[in-house]
Copies of this chain bind each other. A is one copy, B any other.
Amino acid sequence: MANQLIPCDTLLTASVLVSQNDTRDILREAALAITDSRITDLGPSADLTARYQPATRLDLGDALVLPGLINTHTHAAMTLFRGLCDDAPLASWLTDHIWPAEAKLTPEAVRLGTLLACAEMLASGTTCFCDAYFFSGTVAEAADASGMRAVIGQGVFDSADLKFKTSDQALDAARELADKVSGQPRLRPALFAHAVYTCTTRTLERCVELSRERDLLLATHAVETARENDDCHKAHGLRVIPYLERLGFLGPRTLLAHGVALDTADITTLAAHGTAVSHCPKSNMKLGSGIAPVPALRTAGVTVSLGTDGAASNNALNLFSEMNVAALLHKVAAGDPTAQGAQATLDMATRDGADALGWPELGRLTIGGPADLCALDLTRPALTSGYSPVSDAVYAASGGEVVLTMVAGQVLYRNGQYTTLDYPKLRQEFREAARRLTGR
Protein backbone atom coordinates (compact mmCIF):
# COMPACT_ATOMS: atom_id res chain seq x y z
CA MET A 1 0.00 0.00 0.00
CA ALA A 2 3.03 2.28 0.35
CA ASN A 3 2.71 3.39 -3.27
CA GLN A 4 -0.70 4.89 -2.50
CA LEU A 5 0.76 7.34 0.00
CA ILE A 6 0.69 10.96 -1.12
CA PRO A 7 4.03 12.72 -1.02
CA CYS A 8 4.35 16.11 0.71
CA ASP A 9 7.24 18.24 1.90
CA THR A 10 6.24 18.41 5.54
CA LEU A 11 3.68 16.76 7.77
CA LEU A 12 3.20 18.72 10.99
CA THR A 13 1.24 17.26 13.91
CA ALA A 14 0.19 18.91 17.18
CA SER A 15 -2.34 18.39 19.95
CA VAL A 16 -4.34 21.56 19.18
CA LEU A 17 -4.73 23.67 16.03
CA VAL A 18 -6.60 26.97 16.06
CA SER A 19 -7.36 27.49 12.38
CA GLN A 20 -8.81 31.01 12.46
CA ASN A 21 -10.82 29.99 9.40
CA ASP A 22 -14.24 31.53 8.73
CA THR A 23 -15.95 29.25 11.24
CA ARG A 24 -13.04 29.47 13.72
CA ASP A 25 -12.61 25.70 13.83
CA ILE A 26 -10.34 24.32 16.53
CA LEU A 27 -8.94 20.85 15.81
CA ARG A 28 -7.59 18.41 18.41
CA GLU A 29 -4.82 15.95 17.45
CA ALA A 30 -4.44 17.76 14.17
CA ALA A 31 -2.09 17.61 11.23
CA LEU A 32 -1.09 19.85 8.34
CA ALA A 33 0.40 18.63 5.08
CA ILE A 34 2.62 21.24 3.44
CA THR A 35 4.18 21.30 -0.01
CA ASP A 36 6.23 24.19 -1.33
CA SER A 37 4.90 27.20 0.54
CA ARG A 38 1.31 26.08 1.02
CA ILE A 39 -0.98 23.95 3.12
CA THR A 40 -2.14 21.07 0.94
CA ASP A 41 -4.20 19.28 3.57
CA LEU A 42 -5.42 19.84 7.12
CA GLY A 43 -7.30 17.45 9.37
CA PRO A 44 -7.12 14.76 12.05
CA SER A 45 -3.60 13.59 12.70
CA ALA A 46 -4.53 9.91 12.40
CA ASP A 47 -6.01 10.45 8.91
CA LEU A 48 -3.19 12.52 7.50
CA THR A 49 -0.48 10.35 9.01
CA ALA A 50 -2.03 7.35 7.24
CA ARG A 51 -2.35 9.12 3.90
CA TYR A 52 0.84 11.15 3.50
CA GLN A 53 4.48 10.33 2.97
CA PRO A 54 6.29 13.49 4.04
CA ALA A 55 9.91 14.36 3.31
CA THR A 56 10.01 15.88 6.79
CA ARG A 57 7.90 15.16 9.84
CA LEU A 58 7.40 17.81 12.51
CA ASP A 59 5.78 16.10 15.47
CA LEU A 60 5.22 18.94 17.92
CA GLY A 61 3.44 16.86 20.56
CA ASP A 62 1.52 18.88 23.12
CA ALA A 63 1.58 22.16 21.22
CA LEU A 64 -0.88 24.81 20.09
CA VAL A 65 -0.58 25.71 16.41
CA LEU A 66 -1.85 29.14 15.38
CA PRO A 67 -1.63 31.11 12.15
CA GLY A 68 1.51 33.21 12.21
CA LEU A 69 0.81 36.57 13.83
CA ILE A 70 0.79 39.72 11.71
CA ASN A 71 2.33 42.96 12.94
CA THR A 72 0.73 45.69 10.86
CA HIS A 73 2.73 48.65 12.11
CA THR A 74 6.36 48.77 13.07
CA HIS A 75 9.63 50.51 12.39
CA ALA A 76 11.73 47.38 12.64
CA ALA A 77 15.18 48.94 12.72
CA MET A 78 14.27 51.04 15.75
CA THR A 79 15.44 48.04 17.78
CA LEU A 80 18.67 50.06 17.62
CA PHE A 81 17.07 52.64 19.94
CA ARG A 82 15.13 50.37 22.29
CA GLY A 83 15.49 51.68 25.84
CA LEU A 84 17.65 54.60 24.73
CA CYS A 85 15.27 56.98 26.42
CA ASP A 86 12.06 56.07 28.26
CA ASP A 87 9.68 57.79 30.63
CA ALA A 88 10.34 61.17 28.98
CA PRO A 89 7.95 63.71 27.45
CA LEU A 90 7.37 63.04 23.74
CA ALA A 91 9.07 66.22 22.53
CA SER A 92 12.29 65.58 24.45
CA TRP A 93 12.25 61.90 23.51
CA LEU A 94 12.11 62.80 19.82
CA THR A 95 14.26 65.90 19.60
CA ASP A 96 16.93 65.11 22.19
CA HIS A 97 17.30 61.38 21.67
CA ILE A 98 15.64 59.67 18.70
CA TRP A 99 16.15 62.23 15.91
CA PRO A 100 19.85 62.89 16.66
CA ALA A 101 20.48 59.14 16.62
CA GLU A 102 18.41 58.65 13.44
CA ALA A 103 20.41 61.38 11.70
CA LYS A 104 23.42 59.03 11.92
CA LEU A 105 21.62 56.01 10.45
CA THR A 106 23.36 54.09 7.69
CA PRO A 107 21.94 51.35 5.45
CA GLU A 108 24.14 48.85 7.32
CA ALA A 109 22.71 49.91 10.70
CA VAL A 110 19.17 49.65 9.31
CA ARG A 111 19.97 46.20 7.93
CA LEU A 112 21.19 45.01 11.34
CA GLY A 113 18.34 46.65 13.23
CA THR A 114 15.79 45.10 10.89
CA LEU A 115 17.35 41.63 11.15
CA LEU A 116 17.39 41.86 14.97
CA ALA A 117 13.70 42.82 14.82
CA CYS A 118 13.03 39.81 12.59
CA ALA A 119 14.79 37.56 15.12
CA GLU A 120 12.61 38.97 17.91
CA MET A 121 9.39 38.68 15.90
CA LEU A 122 10.12 35.11 14.82
CA ALA A 123 10.86 34.10 18.42
CA SER A 124 7.44 35.40 19.45
CA GLY A 125 5.38 33.88 16.64
CA THR A 126 5.15 36.74 14.15
CA THR A 127 5.43 35.72 10.51
CA CYS A 128 4.57 38.96 8.69
CA PHE A 129 5.18 42.63 9.41
CA CYS A 130 4.41 45.96 7.80
CA ASP A 131 7.37 48.27 8.08
CA ALA A 132 7.91 51.97 7.63
CA TYR A 133 11.41 53.38 7.90
CA PHE A 134 14.40 54.83 6.12
CA PHE A 135 16.33 52.85 3.45
CA SER A 136 13.36 50.76 2.37
CA GLY A 137 15.44 48.79 -0.16
CA THR A 138 17.73 47.67 2.66
CA VAL A 139 14.73 46.77 4.82
CA ALA A 140 13.37 44.65 1.97
CA GLU A 141 16.69 42.82 1.64
CA ALA A 142 16.86 42.15 5.38
CA ALA A 143 13.27 40.90 5.54
CA ASP A 144 13.95 38.66 2.56
CA ALA A 145 17.12 37.29 4.14
CA SER A 146 15.24 36.45 7.34
CA GLY A 147 12.65 34.43 5.40
CA MET A 148 9.78 36.48 6.84
CA ARG A 149 6.84 37.86 4.92
CA ALA A 150 6.72 41.66 4.89
CA VAL A 151 5.04 44.71 3.49
CA ILE A 152 7.86 47.22 3.07
CA GLY A 153 6.82 50.84 3.36
CA GLN A 154 8.81 53.60 1.72
CA GLY A 155 8.53 56.60 4.03
CA VAL A 156 7.54 59.95 2.51
CA PHE A 157 7.65 63.32 4.27
CA ASP A 158 8.49 66.97 3.64
CA SER A 159 10.18 67.95 6.87
CA ALA A 160 13.10 70.22 6.04
CA ASP A 161 14.75 69.53 9.41
CA LEU A 162 16.02 66.09 8.62
CA LYS A 163 18.80 65.22 6.26
CA PHE A 164 16.85 62.60 4.38
CA LYS A 165 15.15 62.19 1.04
CA THR A 166 12.82 64.92 -0.22
CA SER A 167 9.29 63.79 -0.97
CA ASP A 168 10.18 63.75 -4.69
CA GLN A 169 13.11 61.46 -4.02
CA ALA A 170 11.00 59.32 -1.69
CA LEU A 171 8.32 58.82 -4.33
CA ASP A 172 11.01 57.80 -6.80
CA ALA A 173 12.38 55.42 -4.17
CA ALA A 174 8.92 53.93 -3.76
CA ARG A 175 8.78 53.21 -7.49
CA GLU A 176 12.22 51.58 -7.30
CA LEU A 177 11.11 49.53 -4.31
CA ALA A 178 8.01 48.36 -6.15
CA ASP A 179 10.17 47.24 -9.07
CA LYS A 180 12.72 45.64 -6.74
CA VAL A 181 10.28 43.42 -4.83
CA SER A 182 8.09 42.66 -7.84
CA GLY A 183 7.83 38.89 -8.22
CA GLN A 184 9.17 38.21 -4.72
CA PRO A 185 6.23 36.24 -3.27
CA ARG A 186 7.01 37.03 0.38
CA LEU A 187 7.42 40.80 -0.04
CA ARG A 188 5.11 43.60 -1.06
CA PRO A 189 5.85 47.30 -1.39
CA ALA A 190 3.86 50.07 0.28
CA LEU A 191 3.82 53.83 0.49
CA PHE A 192 4.05 55.29 3.96
CA ALA A 193 3.18 58.98 4.01
CA HIS A 194 4.52 59.90 7.46
CA ALA A 195 1.63 62.06 8.73
CA VAL A 196 -0.57 65.00 7.82
CA TYR A 197 1.70 67.25 9.90
CA THR A 198 4.91 66.25 8.07
CA CYS A 199 3.57 65.98 4.51
CA THR A 200 2.17 68.81 2.42
CA THR A 201 -1.24 68.47 0.83
CA ARG A 202 0.42 68.05 -2.54
CA THR A 203 2.68 65.28 -1.25
CA LEU A 204 -0.29 63.41 0.21
CA GLU A 205 -2.12 63.73 -3.10
CA ARG A 206 0.90 62.40 -4.98
CA CYS A 207 1.05 59.44 -2.59
CA VAL A 208 -2.60 58.70 -3.42
CA GLU A 209 -1.82 58.88 -7.13
CA LEU A 210 1.19 56.58 -6.91
CA SER A 211 -0.69 54.14 -4.69
CA ARG A 212 -3.41 53.86 -7.34
CA GLU A 213 -0.96 53.71 -10.23
CA ARG A 214 1.04 50.82 -8.71
CA ASP A 215 -1.69 49.27 -6.53
CA LEU A 216 0.33 49.91 -3.35
CA LEU A 217 -0.91 49.77 0.20
CA LEU A 218 -1.15 53.39 1.34
CA ALA A 219 -0.34 53.93 5.00
CA THR A 220 0.09 56.88 7.33
CA HIS A 221 0.28 57.71 11.03
CA ALA A 222 -3.15 59.20 11.77
CA VAL A 223 -4.56 60.82 14.92
CA GLU A 224 -2.05 59.26 17.29
CA THR A 225 -2.98 62.16 19.61
CA ALA A 226 -5.86 64.61 19.95
CA ARG A 227 -3.48 67.45 19.19
CA GLU A 228 -3.16 66.25 15.60
CA ASN A 229 -6.82 67.10 15.04
CA ASP A 230 -6.37 70.57 16.53
CA ASP A 231 -3.30 71.28 14.42
CA CYS A 232 -4.91 69.91 11.26
CA HIS A 233 -7.97 72.07 11.87
CA LYS A 234 -5.77 75.15 12.23
CA ALA A 235 -3.80 74.33 9.09
CA HIS A 236 -6.54 72.98 6.84
CA GLY A 237 -9.87 73.81 8.49
CA LEU A 238 -10.68 70.12 9.03
CA ARG A 239 -9.97 67.33 11.47
CA VAL A 240 -7.50 64.70 10.22
CA ILE A 241 -9.99 62.13 8.91
CA PRO A 242 -12.16 64.60 6.92
CA TYR A 243 -8.96 66.17 5.58
CA LEU A 244 -7.65 62.79 4.41
CA GLU A 245 -11.07 62.02 2.94
CA ARG A 246 -11.06 65.28 0.97
CA LEU A 247 -7.65 64.34 -0.50
CA GLY A 248 -8.95 60.96 -1.65
CA PHE A 249 -6.52 59.31 0.77
CA LEU A 250 -9.11 56.98 2.31
CA GLY A 251 -10.09 53.74 0.64
CA PRO A 252 -9.87 49.95 0.95
CA ARG A 253 -6.11 49.91 0.29
CA THR A 254 -5.47 52.52 3.03
CA LEU A 255 -4.15 51.62 6.49
CA LEU A 256 -4.06 54.17 9.31
CA ALA A 257 -1.58 53.57 12.13
CA HIS A 258 -2.83 54.42 15.66
CA GLY A 259 -6.29 55.94 15.11
CA VAL A 260 -6.51 57.14 18.72
CA ALA A 261 -8.38 60.45 18.52
CA LEU A 262 -11.32 59.35 16.37
CA ASP A 263 -14.84 60.64 16.92
CA THR A 264 -18.09 58.99 15.85
CA ALA A 265 -18.15 60.78 12.50
CA ASP A 266 -14.56 59.72 11.81
CA ILE A 267 -15.45 56.10 12.53
CA THR A 268 -18.41 56.26 10.15
CA THR A 269 -16.13 57.76 7.48
CA LEU A 270 -13.53 55.00 7.85
CA ALA A 271 -16.21 52.32 7.68
CA ALA A 272 -17.70 53.88 4.55
CA HIS A 273 -14.32 53.85 2.79
CA GLY A 274 -13.28 50.37 3.96
CA THR A 275 -10.15 51.89 5.52
CA ALA A 276 -8.41 49.81 8.19
CA VAL A 277 -6.76 50.89 11.45
CA SER A 278 -3.58 49.42 12.88
CA HIS A 279 -4.08 49.58 16.62
CA CYS A 280 -0.86 49.98 18.65
CA PRO A 281 -2.03 49.84 22.26
CA LYS A 282 1.31 49.50 24.02
CA SER A 283 2.92 52.38 22.15
CA ASN A 284 -0.13 54.59 22.70
CA MET A 285 -0.05 53.79 26.41
CA LYS A 286 3.70 54.23 26.80
CA LEU A 287 3.70 57.65 25.15
CA GLY A 288 0.53 58.65 27.02
CA SER A 289 -1.24 59.27 23.71
CA GLY A 290 -4.65 57.85 24.57
CA ILE A 291 -6.88 54.85 23.92
CA ALA A 292 -8.15 54.07 20.41
CA PRO A 293 -11.92 53.38 20.25
CA VAL A 294 -11.40 49.78 19.13
CA PRO A 295 -14.74 48.27 20.16
CA ALA A 296 -16.59 51.12 18.42
CA LEU A 297 -14.46 50.73 15.29
CA ARG A 298 -15.11 46.99 15.16
CA THR A 299 -18.83 47.48 15.76
CA ALA A 300 -18.92 49.93 12.86
CA GLY A 301 -17.29 47.32 10.64
CA VAL A 302 -13.83 48.86 10.42
CA THR A 303 -11.03 46.28 10.13
CA VAL A 304 -8.76 46.73 13.15
CA SER A 305 -5.37 45.01 13.21
CA LEU A 306 -2.51 45.05 15.72
CA GLY A 307 0.89 46.72 15.53
CA THR A 308 3.73 47.00 17.97
CA ASP A 309 5.06 50.29 16.61
CA GLY A 310 8.85 50.59 16.87
CA ALA A 311 10.88 49.11 19.71
CA ALA A 312 11.75 52.59 20.98
CA SER A 313 8.14 53.19 22.01
CA ASN A 314 6.89 49.81 23.19
CA ASN A 315 9.61 48.34 23.88
CA ALA A 316 8.90 44.86 22.53
CA LEU A 317 7.93 43.48 19.14
CA ASN A 318 5.87 40.72 20.74
CA LEU A 319 2.30 40.33 19.50
CA PHE A 320 1.34 37.96 22.32
CA SER A 321 2.02 40.80 24.77
CA GLU A 322 0.25 43.22 22.42
CA MET A 323 -2.86 40.99 22.22
CA ASN A 324 -2.92 40.65 25.98
CA VAL A 325 -2.69 44.38 26.58
CA ALA A 326 -5.22 45.19 23.83
CA ALA A 327 -7.87 42.96 25.36
CA LEU A 328 -7.26 44.20 28.92
CA LEU A 329 -7.13 47.86 27.90
CA HIS A 330 -10.50 47.93 26.18
CA LYS A 331 -12.18 46.07 29.03
CA VAL A 332 -10.99 48.60 31.60
CA ALA A 333 -11.64 51.57 29.29
CA ALA A 334 -15.26 50.42 28.90
CA GLY A 335 -15.61 49.23 32.50
CA ASP A 336 -16.94 46.04 30.92
CA PRO A 337 -15.19 42.65 30.80
CA THR A 338 -17.13 41.75 27.65
CA ALA A 339 -15.95 44.81 25.67
CA GLN A 340 -13.05 43.06 23.96
CA GLY A 341 -12.91 39.28 24.00
CA ALA A 342 -10.12 36.80 23.37
CA GLN A 343 -11.46 35.65 19.99
CA ALA A 344 -11.83 39.20 18.67
CA THR A 345 -8.31 39.97 19.83
CA LEU A 346 -6.77 36.90 18.22
CA ASP A 347 -8.65 37.86 15.04
CA MET A 348 -6.98 41.29 15.13
CA ALA A 349 -3.53 39.70 15.32
CA THR A 350 -4.20 37.20 12.53
CA ARG A 351 -6.99 37.37 9.92
CA ASP A 352 -7.88 41.03 10.44
CA GLY A 353 -4.18 41.89 10.14
CA ALA A 354 -4.11 40.06 6.83
CA ASP A 355 -7.18 41.92 5.62
CA ALA A 356 -5.74 45.26 6.77
CA LEU A 357 -2.66 44.65 4.63
CA GLY A 358 -4.76 43.64 1.63
CA TRP A 359 -3.30 40.13 1.81
CA PRO A 360 -6.34 38.16 2.90
CA GLU A 361 -4.98 34.65 2.31
CA LEU A 362 -2.71 35.19 5.32
CA GLY A 363 -3.79 35.00 8.96
CA ARG A 364 -5.76 31.74 8.74
CA LEU A 365 -4.78 28.10 8.30
CA THR A 366 -6.77 26.69 5.39
CA ILE A 367 -6.17 24.17 2.62
CA GLY A 368 -4.52 25.98 -0.26
CA GLY A 369 -3.41 28.89 1.92
CA PRO A 370 0.15 29.89 2.82
CA ALA A 371 1.90 27.76 5.46
CA ASP A 372 2.65 30.64 7.85
CA LEU A 373 2.23 29.50 11.44
CA CYS A 374 3.60 29.42 14.94
CA ALA A 375 3.38 26.83 17.73
CA LEU A 376 3.26 27.28 21.50
CA ASP A 377 4.57 24.64 23.92
CA LEU A 378 1.49 23.58 25.90
CA THR A 379 3.58 21.88 28.55
CA ARG A 380 4.57 25.27 30.04
CA PRO A 381 2.86 26.02 33.36
CA ALA A 382 0.86 29.00 32.09
CA LEU A 383 -0.67 26.92 29.29
CA THR A 384 -1.43 23.78 31.27
CA SER A 385 -5.13 24.09 32.08
CA GLY A 386 -6.16 24.01 28.41
CA TYR A 387 -9.89 24.81 28.79
CA SER A 388 -9.74 27.37 25.98
CA PRO A 389 -6.82 27.53 23.54
CA VAL A 390 -7.85 31.00 22.35
CA SER A 391 -8.06 32.36 25.89
CA ASP A 392 -4.71 30.79 26.71
CA ALA A 393 -3.10 32.40 23.66
CA VAL A 394 -4.44 35.87 24.48
CA TYR A 395 -4.47 35.98 28.29
CA ALA A 396 -1.94 33.42 29.55
CA ALA A 397 0.84 33.23 26.95
CA SER A 398 3.80 35.62 27.15
CA GLY A 399 5.26 34.77 23.74
CA GLY A 400 8.13 32.93 25.42
CA GLU A 401 6.25 29.65 24.84
CA VAL A 402 6.78 29.82 21.07
CA VAL A 403 8.77 26.76 19.98
CA LEU A 404 8.34 26.94 16.21
CA THR A 405 7.69 29.63 13.61
CA MET A 406 7.21 28.81 9.94
CA VAL A 407 6.80 31.11 6.95
CA ALA A 408 5.83 29.87 3.49
CA GLY A 409 6.44 26.28 4.55
CA GLN A 410 9.97 26.91 5.85
CA VAL A 411 10.85 26.53 9.52
CA LEU A 412 12.59 29.81 10.42
CA TYR A 413 12.74 29.38 14.21
CA ARG A 414 12.66 26.29 16.37
CA ASN A 415 13.49 25.90 20.06
CA GLY A 416 15.61 29.04 20.23
CA GLN A 417 17.49 28.42 16.97
CA TYR A 418 17.18 30.30 13.69
CA THR A 419 17.56 28.62 10.31
CA THR A 420 18.15 31.78 8.24
CA LEU A 421 20.09 33.97 10.66
CA ASP A 422 23.55 33.59 12.19
CA TYR A 423 22.15 35.02 15.38
CA PRO A 424 25.33 35.26 17.54
CA LYS A 425 27.11 37.13 14.73
CA LEU A 426 24.06 39.33 14.07
CA ARG A 427 23.82 40.22 17.74
CA GLN A 428 27.47 41.21 17.93
CA GLU A 429 27.27 43.38 14.81
CA PHE A 430 23.98 44.90 15.97
CA ARG A 431 25.51 45.94 19.28
CA GLU A 432 28.48 47.56 17.59
CA ALA A 433 26.21 49.44 15.18
CA ALA A 434 23.93 50.60 18.00
CA ARG A 435 26.92 51.85 19.97
CA ARG A 436 28.18 53.83 16.99
CA LEU A 437 24.79 55.51 16.55
CA THR A 438 24.11 56.38 20.15
CA GLY A 439 27.55 56.62 21.74
CA ARG A 440 26.28 54.33 24.52
A residues engaging B (CB < 8 A)?
79-84, 86-90, 93, 116-117, 119-120, 123-124, 282, 284-291, 311, 314-318, 320-321, 324-325, 327-329, 331-332, 334-339, 341-342, 379-382, 384-388, 391-392, 395-401, 424, 427, 430-431, 434, 438, 440
A378 — nearest CB in chain B belongs to which residue? Answer: B427
Contact of A318 among B89, B93, B337, B382 (CB under 8 A): B382
> Within 8 Å CB of A335, what residues of B?
288, 290
CA distance A117 to B396 in the complex (A): 12
User: A398 and B396 in contact (CB under 8 A), knowing A284-B332, A288-B335, A328-B282?
Assistant: no
29 A-B contacts (beta carbon < 8 Å): A82-B382, A82-B385, A82-B392, A83-B396, A86-B388, A86-B391, A86-B395, A87-B337, A87-B338, A87-B341, A116-B381, A119-B381, A120-B381, A120-B382, A123-B381, A285-B331, A286-B327, A286-B395, A287-B331, A288-B336, A288-B339, A311-B382, A311-B396, A318-B382, A321-B398, A324-B325, A325-B325, A379-B424, A385-B434
A225 — nearest CB in chain B belongs to which residue? Answer: B335
CA distance A384 to B430 in the complex (A): 8
Closest beta carbon of chain B to A223's beta carbon, Å: 15
User: A379 and B427 in contact (CB under 8 A), knowing A86-B395, A321-B321, A391-B86?
Assistant: yes
> Within 8 Å CB of A334, what residues of B?
288
Closest beta carbon of chain B to A395's beta carbon, Å: 4
A314 — nearest CB in chain B belongs to which residue? Answer: B395
CA distance A400 to B337 in the complex (A): 27
Closest beta carbon of chain B to A376's beta carbon, Å: 11
> Within 8 Å CB of A332, what residues of B?
284-285, 288-291, 329
> Within 8 Å CB of A88, what residues of B?
337-338
CA distance A398 to B316 in the complex (A): 8
Task: Indicate if the CB atoms of A288 and B318 lie closer than 8 Å.
Answer: no
Closest beta carbon of chain B to A52's beta carbon, Å: 30
